[in-house]
Structure 1
Amino acid sequence: MVSSGSEGGIAFPIPKGMSLSYWMQGVRASPLLDHRTTTDLPETADAVIIGSGMTGTLTAYELLARPNPPKRIIILEAREMCSGATGRNAGHCKPDQYRGFEKYSKLFGPEQAKKLLEHEFVTWSRTVEYICKENVDCELWVGDTLDVAMTAEIASRAAAVYNAYKSYGGNLDNVQYISDPMEAEKVSRLKGAQAVWAWKASTFYPWKLVAHLMNVCLSKGLNLQTWTPVTSITASDTSGLLWNVNTARGRISTPTVVHATNAYASSILPDFAKYIQPTAHMCNKVVPPRAFAGSKALQNSYGVLAPGGLYSINPRCNADGVILFGGSNPNQNQLKAYLDADPNRLFDDRLSNFKPVTDAVEDLTSTAFEGWDDGLPAPGVGPEYSWSGIIGLSADTLPLIGMIPDLPGQWICAGFHGHGMAHIFTCAPGLVTLMQGGTWADTGLPECLELTPERLARARENPNFGNPVV
C-alpha cells in the first residue's frame, strides 16, 4: 500500500540558493522563471500537476490538446519553472539501441527488453517530430551518436550484448557497428578507441522546449504557480473533490493530482522512498580549444564507454560549440561517496565544480582527443563550470507510470533513472491516456513501465537502484 502522508513525506528543504545549469544561465531574463498566472492560489481545480519540468508540462499540454480538456489545470512548481532535472541535464536525447538489452533482459525478460529499446527510438522520433513540426526554437541537432568502447574488454562485452540483441530479433538496421580499432579511432577521433556503434540521436536546449510547451498551455488557460512548494496532500471533505493539495500559500481542492516531481516524489509520498531515491549528479561545461573548434569541431554526440564509467558528450554542433559532459564518468563514485556522507546532500542541487568529476573530464579530453592540449592553458578554454542536478533513481531502473495504488485520483510519472529524455515524450502522453480512462494497451508503452502493486512489491523486495542509465 502507498500512502499520501498527512504530514508530508521525507523532508526535502528548498535550498536558499541553487546552482544554475548551463541552460538556466541562458534564460535569466525569461518571465516564465517566476511566472504566476494569478496573484492568489485558486481554491479549487480540475487537476493539479506538481512539477513544471518536461513531464509536468507535457502532461498539461496533452490534457489541453485532447477533446474535452479540464477547464482548470494548475501546475505547481517549488522554485523556478523547469529548474529540476529537465533544466539540469546535458541536453542529450539518445535512445538506447542495444546496450541495455542484457540488463533489461535479466530484470524483465528479453521480450520486455526489446520493447524498451524500441520504445526509446519511438520516443526520440516523436520528440524530434514535435520540435520540427512546431518549429520550436530549442537548438535541435539531429545526427549520429557514437558509442565508443575504449578498451578491448569493454568492446568485447558491448559486442556480446549487441549480438545477443540481434540474435533475439532486435532491429539493428539503424545501427552501424565498427569493430576495427583503426577505423574506430578515425571515426570517433578518440585515441585508443577499440569499437564504435553509431545511430541517430539528438541534442537540444531542454529548457526552451519546455518553455515552448508551457507557453502553449498558458495560452489555453493553464494556471502556472512558481515558488509554490507542496507540503502535503490530504483527503478532502469537500464532496466530489478527493484531495487537498497543501502549500504555504494556501490549499487547492481537486479530484486529480499528478506527481511529476521525479526524484522528489517521496517528499509528498513517503512510501515512495522505497521506489525512487534522489541523488545529485554533475554535468560539466567545457570550451573546446582551437583543435576542436571551427571546421574541426566535433560533429557527433558520444557515449564513451571507459573503464569505471561512461561519459555522455553533447558538443552542441549547431549552436555555440560548447561541449557538455554528463553521464557516469569514472569519478562520479567519489561524488556518490561525498553525498552518502550526509543524506541532505542527495537532493541539494547547490553543488558545483566537484573537482574529481571535472578531473575525469580533463583526463579524457587530454588523453583521448588528439591535440586537445596544444596551446593550453589559455584563458576561456577548457572546463569552465559544472553544476548539479538531482536524478530520480528507480528501484528497478525504470520510470513508474500510472495511478498510485490506494490513492484514487493521484497519478505519477517519475523515477526516470537519469534517462528521462528518452522516455518522457511517450510516457507523459501515455499517463494522460490512462487518466482519461484508457487501458495500458492504449498507451502503447512497454508493460514493464506500468505502475502496479505487483511491480512495487517486486521492487520493494529486491531494490536495484544501481547507477543511472545514460
Structure 2
Amino acid sequence: MAMGSSHSQSQTASNDGSRATGVEGGKAFPIPTGMSLSHWLQGVRASRLLDHRTTEALPASADVVIIGSGMSGTLTAYELLTRPNPPKSIVILEARELCSGATGRNAGHCKPDQYRGFGKYGKLFGEEQAKKLLEHELETWTRLVEFVEKEKVECDLWVGDTLDVAMSQGVADKALAVFEAYKAYGGKVDHIKYISDPIEAEKVSRLKGAQALWAWKASTLYPWKLVAHLMNTCLSKGLNLQTWTPVTSVTASQATAGRWDVHTARGAIRTPTVVYATNAYTSAILPAFAKYIQPTAHMCNRVVPPRAFAGSHALQHSYGVLAAGGGLYSINPRCSSDGIVLFGGSNPNQGQLKAYLDADPARLFDDGLSNFKPVTDAVNDLTAAAFEGWNEDAPAPGVGPDYAWSGIIGLSADSLPFIGALPDLPGQWICAGFHGHGMAHIFTCAPGLVTLMQGGTWADTGLPECLELTTERLQKIGDTPNFNKPVV
C-alpha cells in the first residue's frame, strides 16, 4: 500500500500565541495553543531542557531528523549515538516543550501485561504472536529497570508487586479464563501469584470487594526525568535539539535526489533519514496514517492520600483495578517518593470523555483539558467505596483529588504500535501508535527500529513479528479501522 509523499499542516501549537491547524476527515480545524501541565511537567519548570535549542538557527541539513522528543524519539537518538559508527549529525525537532506529549503525560506506570492481553491479541494476531507480545513486554520492563539502575538515573524508580484486582466475580472469572488459557498454551506464569480467595484478595490489595488478584513485578517512575537523562547524554554526543519547532510537512527534495525536506516555520532541514516518533500526532504530517493511528485525549488524576493511606499506612503496590463492565483503573501510588497517588487507565467514565471529544474533532488533540468531572467522579467513587478508611478524615485543604490533566493517546487501528520503514518512502521510519501502552513497548521497540535503520533484519530486532509495519498489515486493517478496542 503506497503511502505517497508526506505532507500536511501541523497539528501542534507554536509558542507565539498563534493557532495551528490540523486535518481531520480532510477538513482543517484550529488546535488550541494551551496545554495542561501534567504532574511530571509541573515538577520540572526550572529545567533548561524544556525550551532548549542547541543552535539559534536550524541546520540546513542533517544525517537524521527525528520528529518528537518523547521516549521514542529520544531513545532512538540515544541508540544511534551510542552504537558503533553513529551518524555525524542528528536533529530532534519538538513541537513544544521537551517530552510534553504522551511520555510526559502518562500516570508513570511501566507495567508489563503478563496474561490479560492473551485473549485479545490471540484473536487479532494468533496465539503464538500473543505469547510473544507478553514476553516482549516483560523484556521491555526488564531492560528499562536494568538501564535505570546501571546508569543511576534519578527518576523515582520503584520496583515491586503490581496487582491486577478483579472487583466482581464475573470479572474474576473472565480474567481467570484468560490466565488459564495462556498457561495452557505454554505461557510463563510461574512468576505470577494468583489469589482466588476474596478474603485474602481484600487483605493483600486493601480493596473492599476484591474477588481475586494476580501479582507480579512492575515499576513506576518519573518518565520525564528518564527522558531528560537520555537527552543529556545525546546532547553531550553532539545531538541538536530544537524545541518549539513544529514540523509542518515532509516533502521529497527538489534539489537533491534521495533526500527529504523537513519543513518548519523556522526553515527546512534536508536529510536522507526521517524518523516519526510522533505517536498520536503522526497524521498531522502523514495524512495517510489517519486510518491507522487516531489521537484521543485521555485523563489522569492526582490524589493526595488521607492519613489512613499515608506514612506507614501508604499503599505498597501499583494496581490495575478491573471493574465490572470493562473499566480499568491504573494506579501509581509513588510509594518510593512523595506518596501522591496517580490514577490513569480507562476508568468506567472515560467513555463519557470520549463522547465529549467525538462531538468536536478538534478536541481529540486538545491536551489543554483538565479536571473532566465524570472521570474524576469515578476516581472518587473507587476510593470512597473500595479503600477502607479513605474518607474517615474530615475534609481538609490539600487532601484528596487536587488536579487532573489530559494527554493524547495514539490509538492504533489494530491495538499495536507500528515499527519499521514506511512503504514507498525510502529513508522514512516510524515508531508510533502505542495505544496508551507505550511504557511497556518503547524500551525495546526504539532499539529495534535502530537495528533496522542500520541494515538489520526484523529477526535481528528480537521483536514480535506483529509489531512490524508492513504493507500486508496495513491492508489487513483496510479502510474501515476500528479504534474502539479497549486500551490494554
TM-score (normalised: structure 2) = 0.95
Is the counterpart of residue 338 in structure 1 residue 339 in structure 2? no
**Secondary structure at the counterpart of residue 335 of structure 1:** helix
The aligned residue for residue 427 of structure 1 is: 445
The aligned residue for residue 214 of structure 1 is: 231
Tell me if the contact between 1:4 and 1:232 (Cα under 8 Å) persists in the aligned partners.
no
**Secondary structure at the counterpart of residue 31 of structure 1:** coil
Instruction: Compute the displacement of 1:39 (Å).
Output: 0.1
In the alignment, structure 1 segments of 5+ residues that lack a partner are none
The aligned residue for residue 324 of structure 2 is: 307
Is the counterpart of residue 254 in structure 1 residue 268 in structure 2? no
The aligned residue for residue 357 of structure 1 is: 375
> 1:90, 1:159 → 2: CA distance?
26
The aligned residue for residue 4 of structure 1 is: 5
> 1:436, 1:413 → 2: CA distance?
15
Instruction: Compute the displacement of 1:377 (Å).
Output: 1.4
**Secondary structure at the counterpart of residue 32 of structure 1:** coil
AA at the equivalent of 1:102: G
The aligned residue for residue 381 of structure 1 is: 399
Instruction: Compute the displacement of 1:134 (Å).
Output: 0.1
Tell me if the contact between 1:7 and 1:232 (Cα under 8 Å) persists in the aligned partners.
yes
The aligned residue for residue 250 of structure 2 is: 233
Match for 1:198 among 205, 211, 215?
A: 215
AA at the equivalent of 1:33: L
Q: Structure 1, residues 316-367: CA drift from partner, whole Å, max 9, x if none?
A: 0110000000000000000000000000000110000000000000000000
The aligned residue for residue 59 of structure 1 is: 76
Match for 1:177 among 188, 194, 201?
A: 194
> 1:62, 1:298 → 2: CA distance?
36
Is the counterpart of residue 102 in structure 1 residue 103 in structure 2? no
Q: 1:71 to 1:111 in 2, by over 3 A?
A: same
The aligned residue for residue 145 of structure 1 is: 162
> 1:58, 1:469 → 2: CA distance?
23
> 1:217, 1:187 → 2: CA distance?
43
Q: 1:136 to 1:14 in 2, by over 3 A?
A: farther
> 2:110, 2:184 → 1: CA distance?
26
> 1:336, 1:151 → 2: CA distance?
25
Tell me if the contact between 2:421 and 2:427 (Cα under 8 Å) persists in the aligned partners.
yes
AA at the equivalent of 1:388: S
Tell me if the contact between 2:7 and 2:285 (Cα under 8 Å) persists in the aligned partners.
no
Is the counterpart of residue 298 in structure 1 residue 315 in structure 2? yes
Tell me if the contact between 2:371 and 2:405 (Cα under 8 Å) persists in the aligned partners.
yes
**Secondary structure at the counterpart of residue 165 of structure 2:** strand
> 1:388, 1:313 → 2: CA distance?
16
Is the counterpart of residue 83 in structure 1 residue 100 in structure 2? yes
Tell me if the contact between 1:4 and 1:268 (Cα under 8 Å) persists in the aligned partners.
no
Tell me if the contact between 1:242 and 1:255 (Cα under 8 Å) persists in the aligned partners.
yes
Match for 1:136 among 150, 153, 162?
A: 153
Instruction: Compute the displacement of 1:173 (Å).
Output: 1.1
AA at the equivalent of 2:445: C
The aligned residue for residue 14 of structure 2 is: none
**Secondary structure at the counterpart of residue 50 of structure 2:** helix
Instruction: Compute the displacement of 1:378 (Å).
Output: 1.3
AA at the equivalent of 1:213: L
Instruction: Compute the displacement of 1:166 (Å).
Output: 0.3
**Secondary structure at the counterpart of residue 451 of structure 2:** helix
Q: 1:83 to 1:7 in 2, by over 3 A?
A: closer
> 1:18, 1:188 → 2: CA distance?
35
Instruction: Compute the displacement of 1:238 (Å).
Output: 3.1
AA at the equivalent of 2:267: G
AA at the equivalent of 2:361: P
The aligned residue for residue 372 of structure 1 is: 390
Is the counterpart of residue 458 in structure 1 residue 459 in structure 2? no
AA at the equivalent of 2:110: C
Instruction: Compute the displacement of 1:462 (Å).
Output: 5.4
Instruction: Compute the displacement of 1:375 (Å).
Output: 1.5
Tell me if the contact between 2:170 and 2:324 (Cα under 8 Å) persists in the aligned partners.
no
Instruction: Compute the displacement of 1:237 (Å).
Output: 2.3
> 1:274, 1:449 → 2: CA distance?
17
Q: 1:425 to 1:7 in 2, by over 3 A?
A: closer
Instruction: Compute the displacement of 1:240 (Å).
Output: 5.0
The aligned residue for residue 443 of structure 1 is: 461
> 2:161, 2:199 → 1: CA distance?
19
> 1:462, 1:16 → 2: CA distance?
31
Q: 1:23 to 1:180 in 2, by over 3 A?
A: same
Instruction: Compute the displacement of 1:93 (Å).
Output: 0.2
Q: Answer with 356-365 or 369-378: which moved more.
A: 369-378
Q: Structure 1, residues 174-218: CA drift from partner, whole Å, max 9, x if none?
A: 100000101000000000000000000000000000000000000
Q: CA-atom RMSD, angstroms?
A: 1.1
Is the counterpart of residue 320 in structure 1 residue 321 in structure 2? no
Tell me if the contact between 2:10 and 2:246 (Cα under 8 Å) persists in the aligned partners.
no
**Secondary structure at the counterpart of residue 218 of structure 1:** helix
Number of residue pairs matched by the alignment: 470
> 1:403, 1:173 → 2: CA distance?
37
> 1:3, 1:143 → 2: CA distance?
46
Instruction: Compute the displacement of 1:379 (Å).
Output: 1.0
Tell me if the contact between 2:3 and 2:422 (Cα under 8 Å) persists in the aligned partners.
yes
The aligned residue for residue 277 of structure 1 is: 294
> 1:167, 1:307 → 2: CA distance?
26
Identity of aligned residues (%): 78
Match for 1:113 among 122, 126, 130?
A: 130
AA at the equivalent of 2:122: S
> 1:436, 1:5 → 2: CA distance?
23
Is the counterpart of residue 267 in structure 1 residue 284 in structure 2? yes
AA at the equivalent of 2:96: R
Instruction: Compute the displacement of 1:303 (Å).
Output: 0.1
AA at the equivalent of 1:423: H
AA at the equivalent of 2:4: S
AA at the equivalent of 2:149: C
Match for 1:411 among 411, 429, 437?
A: 429
> 2:362, 2:419 → 1: CA distance?
27
Q: 1:206 to 1:7 in 2, by over 3 A?
A: closer
AA at the equivalent of 2:403: Y
> 1:50, 1:454 → 2: CA distance?
25
Tell me if the contact between 1:3 and 1:407 (Cα under 8 Å) persists in the aligned partners.
yes
> 2:481, 2:181 → 1: CA distance?
26
Instruction: Compute the displacement of 1:8 (Å).
Output: 4.1
Match for 1:47 among 64, 67, 70?
A: 64
AA at the equivalent of 1:321: G
Q: 1:337 to 1:57 in 2, by over 3 A?
A: same
